[in-house]
Structure 1
Amino acid sequence: MVDSAAGPVGGKLAGARRAALAAVILVACLGLLALTFGLVRESAVAELAQRLEVTARTRVQALESVLAKQRAVAAVLSDDTVMREALADPNPAHVARASVKLDRLRGQTDSAVIYLLDRDGVAIAASNWDEAVSFVGSDYSFRDYFSQALLRGEATQFALGTVSKRAGLYLSHNVLLGGQPRGVIVVKVEFDQTERNWAQAGERIFVTDAAGQVILTSQPGRRFGALPAAGAGEVAAALPVPGADWRLVIRAPSAGASQAAAFATGTVGFLLSLMLGAGFWAARARTRAARRAEAERRYRADLERAVEERTRDLTAEMRERRAAEQRLAQMQGEMVQANKLATLGQITAGVAHEVNTPLATIRLLAENGQQLIPPGAAPEVAENLGQILRMSDRIAQFTTELRSFARKATGDLGPIPLKEALDAALLLVASRRRAEGIRMVLPQIPPGLAVRGETVRLEQILVNLIQNAQEALSGRPDAELRIALTQCDGTVRLTVSDNGPGLTPEIAATLFTPFATSKPQGLGLGLVISQEIARDFGGSLTAEPPQPGRGATFHLDLPGMP
């Protein structure tokens, strides 16, 4: 009886233990599955947040680069001579030159439109001057970027265009004349392509201003509205945009993380069932888990390496921007130096003018002295008085040419006798040529040969070319400067060449670039201005490619006149 009773009781105890063990294993498996789900989802969400952070930094750097570039365009144009002339004297010629220059710069800087406003806020020049939607003549005095630029010097405003009906950022800078604001230069930037790139990349990006209003977005229907609330389970990253009171927000759904976690949990459950079924399959499941862990480690390592590389790239971009700011400051300083040189030219012309009166008196007294020489006087007296008259005539000729060269260009083009212009230029630079012992080879210019241009500016080109050649020949014992004349199909070509050291490839590549110079005290503006003058005349100024062992050669082509 006892043995027969013990069997059922022992069986019940064993069954209870098995049930308890099964319950423990089940609870452990469920706990492991829950832990797996939570860890995998947390890891996936962290990776998603990290990717969003990297993407946000990339987009912010791109916006910052665009803002810095366009601000530099507005700042440089605010000190541009062509813009100042258009504001000081808004005649059709000055306004047309300003519009053409703005149109050329718009294409080079990827701006949407650039325009110049006068003191009343009316556009007098614009890059779209020749289009049906030209801004010329439109009144923008109601815009904040106009009034704020007059008050503070510069301003920014994101708004919808009144003419184009296209949204964009307006960057403005005042233009000073005589220390007082006389107008405003405005650069408009549109971000349509940027927003399309965001949308094509599948990114949900919003850029808000200081008031929290959406101004840029990959979802155009959200523009000028409030930032939409984040959806359930969304992961986001937000960064400020340096240089603007903006904030960039990027969002992405975390559904993929939950799916990855669910997939991982199902996989672990399947592996657990295999482990309970057979040790072999359990061992293989552990091997696969180890491989996945290694792949995840490698993925994390690759991601961290990509982040480090992008950080280095961003650091390099920041260094480049600082270098650009330093170049801008240098350009501004050089413009101030150019203004000083212009002032010095005015003073020189004034001195030349003041010399004429005492010079005329000296000549008159010398002539009277010749008339009063008594008979039998020493011949040296007449010779000395004649020398005084000849030197007076020479000084008068030099001051006349100097005053003519210093006169302000009128802008009127007409026939200019080429021989007279060349003779005047040679006289102005003759002192250095004689001091250096430079041999001159000049062409035979017919007295009636005329070219289309303006006397003052043509002399400026010739003086610049001859002076550059003389400086290149400094210290050479066999120094020679040649000027040749050719005519073909109504075009007159003057070729100025020397036997100096010539141009290096580096200098030749930037020869007509503003502020690029090899001279310690040079500004790098002479050839740039001369080329622009030649173009205004309807001609051109070019340099032959550098050749070893040969000096520099420049060609000035001008339209001939009957």
Structure 2
Amino acid sequence: MNEIRQNHHMKAAQPNRKLILWLAAIVLLFLFGVILVQTGHWTRSSELDHINTKAGDSLNVYTGDLQIELDKFEALPYILSKNPLFLQLLVELHDTKKLDSVNRELERVNTLAETSAIYILDKTGHALATSNWNEKVSFIGEDLSFRPYFQQAIQGNPGRYFALGNTSHVRGYYFSAPMFNGPEIIGVLTVKVHLQRLEENWAKGSEKVVVTDPHGVIFISSYRPWQFRALVPLTTEAVQTLRNSMRYGDIYPDSIGTGQLSSDKNGLHFISLKTDAAPLVDGKTSSRTDRRYLIHSHNMPDAGWTVHVLSDISHVDGQVRNIVLLVAFLLVILFLSAALFYNKRRARLKQNEFEAHSRRALQEMNEQLEQRVHERTRELTLTNIHLTREVTERSRTENELRAAQEELIQAGKLAAIGQMATSITHEISQPLAAIRMFAENSLILLDEQRQEQVRMNLNDIADLVIKMSRITSHLKSFARKSRATLEPVDLEMAVGNVMVLLSMEMRKTGTVCHCTVAKETYVLADQVRLEQVLMNIFSNALDAVTNQPEKLIFISSEKHGDEVKLIVRDSGPGIAEEHIENIFEPFFTRKQQGKGLGLGLSLSRSIIKDFGGRITAENHAEQGAVFKFILKSCHLEEGAHK
């Protein structure tokens, strides 16, 4: 009865639980949306404030630079207007010699002051003298009475004006001052200043800087395509005024802006520029939508213009989007982490129940396993004892085999020396007989006081002793019983040592050896055992050519990558095809009884294998057998490591 009631309550609670979950999901989605919207607003506001602050600081710098540039030349026309030479020209208008002096002086001052031009106008506004008098474009004779700076100065006031040059078509800022002869104004002195240097410096910054006249026409710009274009669309009256004043010559400015000016609640001002007027961003083509800029402005009433800094805000939307996506990602991670924690907690409770049940089952299984392990351990212990005995026996057998192989190698060396005993005895007996003859001869020469002949005999005796010492040292080294150690071995030297021991036998049989082993060829081997292998192969080659009409042995070397190949070829009858595969087997020999046990080639292959190399045998296409040794190449400095 209680179970039925409990099931009834659980079924009734399921719809309520689903409703709560749906309501929680809706609330979470609403909170996510609010957080993301607020994040976007905050990010946009923060980034725009940063751009605005930076633009304000930059505007102060640009305005200061511009003001300093203007202040630098403001007093120049007033000072020059007091120059007696210039005043005298206006009094004596037809003095050509004085005109030439004035032109040259104006040219000198213009160069020193680094201005664009300096010129003098008479009362009618015609240029009498100018610093560019000797250039193709000269102001002399030009009627500039329509310029406001002339009209201001002719009335006794300092003049200021900026415009495009009527003759030179070069932009400039004009400073003018009246020239007095007593109380009478007799002319106007004008200084034209170019501002291109400021534009070049401004162009290096990240902001766009423009200077506009009262009508909004851009006179100075860090972005060249904006020059002489209006920041906002001009009214009909403004266009007519510009035409009448001829401030920009025959240029009639069009607008780069769409006319959309806006401000936000934080007091920031924005302007929209036409697509074709907006500069490219990072070299990429702009989209067809108008681009908005944050604009920061400062009015300069003395100069008659306004300085603007335009900051591109096209990247703000991308930053807002990235921040919103990041926050959304973090919120999702947070939500998933909470859900994961909840699921882990539920899973942990279920796991605890499962572990309690499993623990009891495991305890029963452990008891059974312990019994089985005990039985199996007893069996493995007996097996291990048996294996230990077998390993010990095998190790002992291997040591005995290794010792036997060492004895075989040593016996092979001694056998080779025994075979060469007659030749070596003859090699040593001849120098000994010569030494005896030289000694007896020297005694006679001493009695006759022939010291020089005695010295020559002693030198000959020393050479013969060196020759015998070389032979005995090779024999001693070859016969020494030593433990094999791998080290760099000079292959040419090893071949030469063996050839010394076999030289008498070769002369006796009339065998000619052609050796072309490369110099400074080092292989990884044990020198004594390598020479034993070479002795065995060379001796076999001598035996093979004994009954041949042409007795030749060829020894050469080749290097391929990290391997060195030593090739030994004879002019003997070669190896029977049916025996090639068996010649390296122990006790295999084709020699007569008593000439060998057939272990030489088997031991040679074993020794070469210990060096990490290999040996092969084949018949030459023309005549004779060919044995090839492939050994590892190395350098002298590898010896310590190996």
Query: TM (normalized to structure 1)?
Result: 0.47
**Bigger radius of gyration:** 2
Higher relative contact order by CA 8 Å / sep ≥ 6: 1 or 2?
Answer: 1
Query: TM (normalized to structure 2)?
Result: 0.41
